[in-house]
Amino acid sequence: QVQMTESGGGDVQPGGSLRLSCIVSEEAFNRRALGWFRQRPGREREGVACLTWTWNIDYLDSVKGRFTISRNNAKRTLYLQMNNLSPADTAMYYCAADRGALCSASWLDGGPTFEHWGQGTQVTVSS
């Protein structure tokens, strides 16, 4: 059974940092693109960061220079390091696995090609 389990969310003040983790079952990890997505209050789900199997990376423009996606193959874990957080980053964050190895052209639009999803972890940035 495919499992994707996020952790690391929480409450943080503006300017603070959090690291999200996502443990991925083998079927959903190997040779797949992995991504982080978020759904902010009142908005559609959007792509935040995408990591291909061959380590090509893409980011949502508003998080470039602040967020870093990475993975540990031995631990089958995907990470999202988030620095200099702002209230606009408040959202439910999800990890997901694509059906293929690449980040599709549509990944920013909520990841329609991503077929396995975690349950989400809440990030709240406020003072």
Torsion of the alpha carbons at 64, 42, 125 and 52, rounded to the nearest 10: -30
Using alpha carbons, select from 56, 32, 38, 40 the residue that is nearest to residue 95. 38
Phi-psi region of 34 (alpha: psi -120 to 50; beta: other; left: phi over 0): beta
Per-residue pLDDT tens listing for the chain (127 residues): 889 999 999 999 999 999 999 999 999 999 999 999 999 999 999 999 999 999 999 999 999 999 999 999 999 999 999 999 999 999 999 999 999 999 988 999 999 999 999 999 999 999 9
